[in-house]
């Protein structure tokens, strides 16, 4: 009997043919690995800074519905993930 590995699945896409995907990439994370050398760090930092400023301005205005909405948006932001991983692995290295 032929056993199928639980880590690999095969999907058929009519436009691209048959492809092999890893199960850990299907559920969570980006579709492809991050190319850390080609990340536009200026853009990522600007997006995170702008989101933080929007949260601050909404807090100052007392718009709690917007504050909560933006706070939920923060962990879903790919730019926030990039900046956070960079901070943990490089800036805070050894602390």
What is the pLDDT at residue 3?
53
pLDDT per residue as tens digits for the range 13-47: 555 555 555 444 456 666 778 888 899 999 999 99
Helices (H) and strands (E) in the chain, counts: 4, 2
CB atoms within 10 A of CB 19: 10
pLDDT per residue as tens digits for the range 54-73: 999 999 999 999 999 999 99
Please tell me the total number of residues recorded for the chain in this structure.
95
Global pTM? 0.63
What is the pLDDT at residue 5?
47
**Residues contacting residue 55 through CB under 8 Å, at least 6 positions apart:** 67, 70, 71, 74
Nearest to 79 by CA among 30, 25, 53, 41: 41
- The answer to whether residues 7 and 23 touch, using CB atoms and an 8 Å cutoff, is yes
CB atoms within 10 A of CB 86: 16
């Amino acid at each position: 009997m032929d056993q199928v590995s639980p880590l690999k699945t095969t999907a058929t896409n009519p436009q691209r043919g048959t492809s092999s995907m890893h199960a850990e990439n299907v559920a969570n994370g980006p579709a492809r690995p991050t190319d850390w050398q080609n990340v536009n760090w200026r853009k990522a930092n600007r997006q995170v800074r702008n989101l933080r400023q929007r949260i601050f301005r909404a807090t100052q205005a007392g718009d709690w519905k917007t504050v909560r909405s933006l706070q939920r948006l923060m962990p879903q932001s790919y730019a926030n993930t990039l900046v956070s991983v960079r901070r943990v692995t490089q800036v805070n290295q050894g602390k």
